[in-house]
Amino acid sequence: MKILQLELFKVPPRWVFLKITTDNGMEGWGEPVVEGRADTVMAAVREMSGYLTGKDPGHIEDIWQLLYRGGFYRGGPVLMSAISGIDQALWDIKGKALGVPVYDLLGGPIRDKMKIYGWIGGDKPFMAAEAARKRVASGFLAVKMNACAAMEWIDTPKKIQDAVDCIRSVREAIGYEIGLGIDFHGRVHKGMAKGFMRELESLKPMFIEEPVLAENGDAFSQLAQYTSTPIATGERLFSRWDFKALFERGAVDIIQPDLSHAGGISEVKKIAAMAEAYDIALAPHFPLGPVSFASALQVDFSCI
């Protein structure tokens, strides 16, 4: 079996799907995209396609290494998202060829269900509590919300207080038996994040996500001293080498690699194994389309 062709499909609202077809008619699907940069990633996939035509699609690791190491420049959101979609499609072909789900090829399932949370926004405080109630009423055992709008490097105490009051209204609406994840989205700088995180302690968040931007890696170690709440990050990290420094600092408790950005199924499985060795939890990030979601399930079903 050989790879015959690659086809790309751009689909609203922000999806890109890749179909890899083999010479015996088998098809595999992937989702290579960066939000807001779909055309750029599509161009990268097309540039990589010359390496793929005629290759055995079952040689997934060999192809991954070829695409990653075959150029002078490596890593980053565009190149790794292109590799991610290709990798997903190759695993899809292998699973279909062997007649098994991909998680069986990764060692088999260690769970048959996965915990999820319901997103409630949070940018509009007057709507947050009601949105949380609706999520809980529909059966969710956890919700996640934005912490605040973008803050200045050093902002006013009122901006912090308003954000805390909004989050408190959600906690009061759902009680303490429901998990409450709080996503800073990297909108807060280190100087403001310190006090903000301390103010949230009494509300017992399930985790605080991206308290600062991922590129400010050293700041995570400092911010960890200001809270007992688990810290999460990783959606804007793109390979095991990006995560390596984060693990070594020992400042985060949950990693969130994205299956369409962090090298696909092959790479995220390796990142997850590294995280386990550092006693760090895995929570794959998947806000995109159905192929990305299905890929995340394969990894999550097969990892601690």
Q: Is the dihedral of CA 44, 60, 109, 280 positive or negative?
A: negative
Q: Do you know the residue count of the chain?
A: 304
Q: Which residues are CB-contacts of 122 (< 8 A; sequence separation ≥ 6)?
A: 128, 145, 146, 147, 166, 167, 170
Angstrom CA distances, 63 to 27, 96, 172, 243, 266, stand at 17, 18, 51, 22, 11
Of 59, 189, 261, 285, the active-site residue reads: 285
Is residue 189 annotated as a catalytic residue, yes or no?
A: no
Bridge-based pairing state of the strands 27-30 and 118-119: unpaired
Of 59, 185, 189, 261, the active-site residue reads: 185
Separation CA 237–CA 256 (nearest Å): 9
Is residue 285 annotated as a catalytic residue, yes or no?
A: yes
* 3-state SS class at 283: coil
Separation CA 22–CA 4 (nearest Å): 5
Stretch (H or E) spanning 143: strand 142-146
Catalytic positions: 185, 285
